[in-house]
Structure 1
Amino acid sequence: MKLHIARFQVNPSDVILLEGILIFHDPRVRELMNMKLFVDTDADVRLARRIRRDTVEKGRDISTVLDQYSKFVKPAFDDFILPTKKYADIIIPRGGDNHVAIDLIVQHICTKLGQHDMCKIYPNLYVIQSTFQIRGMHTLIRDSLTTKHDFVFYADRLIRLVVEHGLGHLPFTEKQVITPTGSVYTGVDFCKRLCGVSIIRSGESMENALRACCKGIKIGKILIHREGDNGQQLIYEKLPQDISDRHVLLLDPILGTGNSAVQAILLLISKGVPESNIIFLNLISAPQGVHVVCKRFPRIKIVTSEIETGLNEDFRVVPGMGEFGDRYFGTDDDDEELVVAHTPLRF
């Protein structure tokens, strides 16, 4: 018996859907997939559907259908299809009736498409690879009902991921070491001339993650007045004296209009920091802010965990997560001046 393999031309597209009961069998095909879904339907439901289809559409009697199912269909499923379930990223029970799972998948695809378009426009924009673990943490910190404790816990986890990804964009040098087995390992040496700069006060929420990754790192502060669409007024700055000789990780969890970020970057450049030595780290970025920063500073790198829908009429990021500083530090607007005044500076 000859096996004929059909070949099809697939035209370029933003989304390509592959469907089939054995679609996960070939590892070469699995490696091409960005998301793998397994629709897990109850065995009784599968049997009922088969009985209905074969009796109504094919005119078979029930005894024949049951005999074929027990001898061939069910054993084949157990041997060849069910084992591929382990390769799935998401297992969807109840199939098309699971509207929550379907909505989650649709939203994930829409988010990836938006991020993909922005990254195609700006090669200096980096969005960390989204997983459903990351989406789950975003869901928690965006929920208005999430407690302060949980908000801080999951925000810190996301911030750590962003910081780690940002550090991966720093220059490195090759280095050889001797392992405990006496073997030579060829690796890399981290960039030594590094500092962080947080935009007060939300940016200070990212400092602990940076310190955890870079022991003894110097961290400077910048305070910029923000009101509506105006983020242009520099109020305060305290930066390391040798900052011009360092790579700078600029910290602010929210990139909205981009005005505050532009002001902070201009300050760093005025202090002698090369534009290419600045990496801007944030959790969420509005497209408007990305356009403003990337167009004005094409050599700066932006690392974020998600691209947002946009800004509303009050210049607030949507869907967003509210006032990040208030939710993270557990304060309201009336407390902000007091908190800023007592923010410790560490060098």
Structure 2
Amino acid sequence: MDSETLSTFSNSIKNGSISAPHPPKQPFVIGVAGGTASGKTTVCNMIISQLHDQRVVLVNQDSFYHSLGDDTLAKVYDYNFDHPDAFNTELLLSCMAMLKNGRAVNIPNYDFKTHKRIGPGCQVNPSDIIILEGILVLHDSRVRDLMNMKIFVDTDSDLRLARRIQRDTVERGRNIQNVLDQVVEHGLGHLPFTEKQITTPTGSVYPGVVFCKRLCGVSVIRSGESMENALRACCKGIKIGKILIHGEGNNGRQLIYEKLPADISSRHVLLLDPVLASGNSAVKAINLLLSKGVVESNIIFLNLIAAPQGIHMVCKKFPKLKIVTSEIDVTLDEDLRVIPGMGEFGDRYFGTNN
């Protein structure tokens, strides 16, 4: 939801065209949904600020995540927190029913670092208006039926990726593997697609899409191999080629080894290398792919951290290629290492640094 839409919505509330019933027989329930890190909280805060004459309570769907058992915690990075089954919807419905009937409830207190509920929860009292916010609050028909108003917040996917990575690593204690997973997932969203009509769980027909199936990965040994598990998790059985490039001083790069799918020229290629510094290694790798017949526009370069110099070099030489990164750092030092960066990525990821 952009600033102009927010302003229009705010004015509607002020002018009374959007308001709670007065006097309310039951709370007026507003559902606010949208993709992760789309700005739902900002929209909710705007609504609350405009309804200062009403008693308003905000209920977050995130509070109703299931506590994870030891077996699940052992494989927590394979757990899908964006799936409807990740939430205790029955408990959410019970709490909402009590609030709508004028009774106070205890909303669970969920810890995103331990993935468990902690403490006795937070008591929430009945109010004139209830705002229910979450990525999937519009998924279950029983939850939708509680709502008097439904809002979906739509935000550019690149902005959402940056917001989510910052939030998950700083606020929720997620590790580097989560970030790699998100970068790979976002990169897949740039693949070409064809339209396809699908039927949603609500019975509505929606114009969906089907992505291309001629796809492979190519990792730059060895740091690029840190991204292979994330790619395989999204695309089971995907072919992944290898490229080994050796640095020669600050400028030269030598191709030491390459093993690529024989039919790579007919595929879309996800080039995997977590750090884009000077761009010299990336240029060497991309030139190799082009020499194998890969179409430039069919290459998506995925990395974790990029320096402006590397981005400019790659984009200048290969304007049709796409780059997906989670962070653009400040610059390079005299040894062409990213500043502030994170050191030698391969050593840090595989635990081989001294």
Question: Which category describes the TM-score, using the shorter chain as reference length?
Answer: 0.5 to 0.7
1:152-192, CA deviations, whole angstroms, 9 ceiling, x for partnerless residues? Answer: x6111111111111111111112245678987654221211
- For the 8 Å contact 2:330–2:340, the answer to whether it is kept is yes
Classify 1:286/1:181 alpha carbon distance in 2 versus 1 (closer, same or farther; 3 Å).
closer
Which of 156, 162, 167 is equivalent to 1:130?
A: 162
1:276-319, CA deviations, whole angstroms, 9 ceiling, x for partnerless residues? Answer: 00000001110000000000000000000111101011211011
The higher radius of gyration belongs to 1
Distance (Å, rounded) in 2 between the aligned partners of 1:258 and 1:327: 21
Alpha-carbon RMSD: 4.1
Distance (Å, rounded) in 1 between the aligned partners of 2:256 and 2:272: 17
Classify 1:231/1:223 alpha carbon distance in 2 versus 1 (closer, same or farther; 3 Å).
farther
Residues 1:235 and 2:256 are matched in the alignment: yes
Q: Taking structure 2 as the reference length, what is the TM-score of the superposition?
A: 0.55
The equivalent of 2:288 in structure 1 is 267
- List alignment gaps of at least 5 residues for structure 2: 15-31, 61-157
Residues 1:255 and 2:276 are matched in the alignment: yes
Q: Which has the higher strand share?
A: 2
Distance (Å, rounded) in 2 between the aligned partners of 1:179 and 1:77: 34
| Counterpart amino acid of residue 223 in structure 2 | S
Classify 1:82/1:203 alpha carbon distance in 2 versus 1 (closer, same or farther; 3 Å).
farther
- For the 8 Å contact 1:250–1:281, the answer to whether it is kept is yes
Classify 1:181/1:130 alpha carbon distance in 2 versus 1 (closer, same or farther; 3 Å).
closer
Residues 1:245 and 2:277 are matched in the alignment: no
Q: Using the aligned pairs only, state the percent identity.
A: 63
The equivalent of 1:157 in structure 2 is 178
Classify 1:268/1:181 alpha carbon distance in 2 versus 1 (closer, same or farther; 3 Å).
same
Which consecutive segments of 4 or more residues in structure 1 shift more than 6 A? 27-35, 84-87, 178-183
Classify 1:27/1:284 alpha carbon distance in 2 versus 1 (closer, same or farther; 3 Å).
farther
The equivalent of 1:67 in structure 2 is none
The equivalent of 1:167 in structure 2 is 188
Q: Which has the higher helix share?
A: 1
Distance (Å, rounded) in 2 between the aligned partners of 1:223 and 1:27: 59
Which of 329, 342, 345 is equivalent to 1:308?
A: 329
CA shift for structure 1 position 129: 3.6
1:122-166, CA deviations, whole angstroms, 9 ceiling, x for partnerless residues? Answer: xxxx676422x52255559xxxxxxxxx8xx61111111111111
| Counterpart amino acid of residue 280 in structure 2 | N
Distance (Å, rounded) in 2 between the aligned partners of 1:127 and 1:256: 22
Residues 1:289 and 2:310 are matched in the alignment: yes
Q: Taking structure 1 as the reference length, what is the TM-score of the superposition?
A: 0.56
Distance (Å, rounded) in 2 between the aligned partners of 1:28 and 1:192: 47
**DSSP-derived class of the 2:175 partner:** helix
- For the 8 Å contact 1:193–1:245, the answer to whether it is kept is yes
Which of 224, 227, 236 is equivalent to 1:206?
A: 227
Distance (Å, rounded) in 2 between the aligned partners of 1:37 and 1:228: 51
